Amino acid sequence: MDLALRGRRAVVTGGSLGIGRAIARELAAEGVAVAILARDAPRLEAAARDLSGETGGTVLPIAADLSTAAAVEAAMAAAEAALGGVDILVNNAGATPMGRLGATPDATWAKSIDLKLMGYARAARALTPGMRARRWGRVVNIIGRSGHQPRAAYIVGSSVNAALLAFTHALAQECAADNVLVTGVNPGPIRTPRWDALTEQGAAQAGRSAEAENRAAVEGVALGRLGEPEEVAGLVAFLCSDRAGYITGTMIDVDGGGTRCI
C-alpha cells in the first residue's frame, strides 16, 4: 500500500529507541523526511545514521531535553528550520516509573507531567500553527492503555496518560476545521527497552522475577505474546496518511486484544 507520504516532513520525539525509532524508520521508508529527538545525543546520532542507511531516507538528529518549555520551543524551531516546515508530529517522549501513591514523591509526578503531558502539549502548540496555516497536518500522540485502564502500581503513568487522552480529544476538536487530524495510540505490552525497565520495576515491587512479571503481563493478552515496535509503527504511518483522512479525535489500542470494554 502506497501511503502517499513522500515529501512530507515529520518530528518524532523519543525517536532513538523502541517505538519511536520504529515509527521514524517506518516514516522514512515511506519517503518522509524525519527529525528524531531525544536527550542522549550520541545514541540519537547513531540512530539517525542507522535509520538513514536502512531506509535511504532523510533522518536528522536533534538532541533535546523536552521537559522544559524553552527546550521544546528551541527543538521544534530547529526541526522546522532543518526540514523547511513540519507536517507530522509524533509525540512519543516520556518515561514514568512504576510506583504506588505512597511511594511516589512530588518530584516524580512533576517530572512525568513536565516531560510527557506538557512536552506533548508544548510540541503541539509549537507545530500546529504551521500545519493549520497550510491546511494539512497530523499529530499522533503515543499514550498508553493505562490511561483508560489505570493501575494502582503505576499511578503517575495512569494519571498522565488519562490526561493525554482528554488532551488528544480536545486538540482534535480545535484543529479539525483546518484539516489537522489528531489521534492517540495506546500501546500495550510492546517489546522495547522501556518495557524491559518497567518489567524489572514491577517485578521488584511484586517480589518475583522479570520472567514471571512478563508471563503475568501476557496472561491477559488474547494473542498471548508481547507486541513488537513495528506493529505500532505501521498503524502510526497509516494514521499520518490521507487514507486515514476521516479519522480524528480517536484512540486506538495496540495491545494484542488485552483491552476488553464496550
Is 120 labeled as catalytic in the residue annotation? no
Q: How many domains would you assign to the chain? A: 1
Task: Decide if 196 is inside a domain.
Answer: no
CB atoms within 10 A of CB 166: 10
Which CATH number fits the domain that encloses residue 172? 3.40.50.720
Rounded Cα–Cα distance for residues 150 and 165 (Å): 12
Q: pTM value?
A: 0.94
User: Where in 210-254 does DSSP place strands (E)?
Assistant: 251-254
Cβ partners under 8 Å of residue 12, min gap 6: 20, 23, 24, 27, 34, 35, 36, 37, 90, 92
Task: Decide if 214 is inside a domain.
Answer: no
Task: Decide if 256 is inside a domain.
Answer: no
Task: Decide if 133 is inside a domain.
Answer: yes
Task: Decide if 198 is inside a domain.
Answer: no
Out of 120, 154, 167, 195, pick the active-site residue: 154
Give the pairing type, strands 9-13 and 33-38: parallel
Q: What is the extent of the structural domain holding 139?
A: 9-188+227-249
Task: Decide if 207 is inside a domain.
Answer: no
Task: For residue 131, give the C-alpha cell.
Answer: 500545519
The predicted structure's pLDDT at residue 133: 98
Task: Decide if 203 is inside a domain.
Answer: no
The predicted structure's pLDDT at residue 245: 98
- Could you report the per-residue pLDDT of 42-91, keeping only the tens digit for each? 999 999 999 999 999 999 999 999 999 999 999 999 999 999 999 999 99
Cβ partners under 8 Å of residue 151, min gap 6: 158
- Could you report the per-residue pLDDT of 151-203, keeping only the tens digit for each? 999 999 999 999 999 999 999 999 999 999 999 999 999 999 888 887 888 77
Task: Decide if 261 is inside a domain.
Answer: no
